[in-house]
Structure 1
């Protein structure tokens, strides 16, 4: 539980650029012959309440961007309170995601990132999960335990993309380790996080659903970070 919602005064554009470079080096996670599967995990503790409603809209847009390709299933999960963790069924319609997220209220409590990672591991044991996206602002758990589970996810090919709101050095260290162990990526967002998060989530979703060609087409229409990512990937 992090009561201080503070963003750095300097832009974290370098973090965004580093994220794009890392993602450009990440092989396309979409398997041949089936839809890609992405777990979308959220911190719903009280510290994120100021940005939660905006996040609902942004994250639904991510689903819209990928759904147009017909190649992505998303499972929403979140934690809040002392031990409240919930995972919804796999979704294929943006409206279902919007409705479920709109019903969630942020509640004070401690982080449960370990449950997020364990859940992703259980899901991929049942049917391959291609990527895990996590959005949060702090970490209050045993980092060694988190890294153990992250390592297992990495061995199973589940890449974790962690988006950090604000600046918490403890969270940043943990998120970077999780990303490294899964061959995913970490990106810290600054005060312009709504715009950056929208672009980065859309880019990850489109890439997971349709690969590089889909991302190039998406980038030509939308520009911004999506187009930049497509260019980086073509150079790699």
Structure 2
């Protein structure tokens, strides 16, 4: 991408499309991915923008994230790490956890604070963690970009070369944010979807779909019955 200007949430709003269809397409795409080392415990990095505009969605995600674990078979394990940014340069990562309640408790202690996006730090952290031990997938949830888009694309491409897909969830309808998020997903060989904060089940279905993929690859995702789970599967097939 040649776009260098920061993409902000208030700019160039596109007409609303059918969010349910986009969620379905996203889940279909994930199902087409063959996760390396599927016999190992999955590891999912969960990245979130915790700047002030995200507080309502953050609260929603706290209540929904435990549902990710419902998509995992009882004899499988999924380790999840939370990384978030907020305020003036704060970007922190949790320990890797297996317990949904532990992750929920951790998220419930975090309040959103005003500040600029730090997506580059999330991508860099994902790269470094993946070098230490393979991560199955990265989820990123956000609504804005206030960084150099080309630099972020370079980092997303590096993750793609390493075999670490980004699953990028956009809140809102900012067209420049959408273009950048779609490019991050394409370059990393991942997938993109928009969700509507007024319809929590859409985000819940997306999180469950990626958790199923991270824990058991395509076979486990195919066991999910939601429209979202059937639709993450098709984007990757086109790449």
TM-score band w.r.t. shorter chain:
0.7 to 0.9
C-alpha change, 1:231 and 1:190, in structure 2 (3 Å) is: closer
2:33 is equivalent to residue 26 of structure 1: yes
2:157 is equivalent to residue 154 of structure 1: no
Give structure 1 stretches of 5+ with no counterpart. none
Residue equivalent to 1:111: 117
State the Cα deviation string for residues 192-213 of structure 1 (Å, max 9, x = none): 4411110111011012212333
State the Cα deviation string for residues 71-118 of structure 1 (Å, max 9, x = none): 311111100012010000111111110110000000011110000000
Task: Return the offset for 1:12.
Answer: 2.3
Which of 177, 186, 191 is residue 180 of structure 1 equivalent to?
186
3-state SS, counterpart of residue 112 of structure 2: coil
Distance 1:33 1:12 in 2: 34
- Please list, as runs of the form range in 1=range in 2, the aligned pairs for 1:114-153 lying within 5 A after superposition: 114-153=120-159
Distance 1:146 1:156 in 2: 16
C-alpha change, 1:60 and 1:68, in structure 2 (3 Å) is: same
RMSD of the TM alignment (CA)?
A: 2.8
Q: Which structure carries more helix by proportion?
A: 1
Residue equivalent to 2:228: 225
Q: TM-score, normalised by structure 2?
A: 0.86
Residue equivalent to 1:208: 214
Q: TM-score, normalised by structure 1?
A: 0.87
Which of 20, 25, 28 is residue 13 of structure 1 equivalent to?
20
Distance 2:154 2:219 in 1: 35
Residue equivalent to 1:190: 196
Give structure 2 stretches of 5+ with no counterpart. 1-6
Distance 1:86 1:25 in 2: 32
Task: Return the offset for 1:22.
Answer: 2.5
- Please list, as runs of the form range in 1=range in 2, the aligned pairs for 1:49-128 lying within 5 A after superposition: 49-66=55-72, 68-128=74-134
Q: How many residues align?
A: 230
3-state SS, counterpart of residue 56 of structure 2: helix
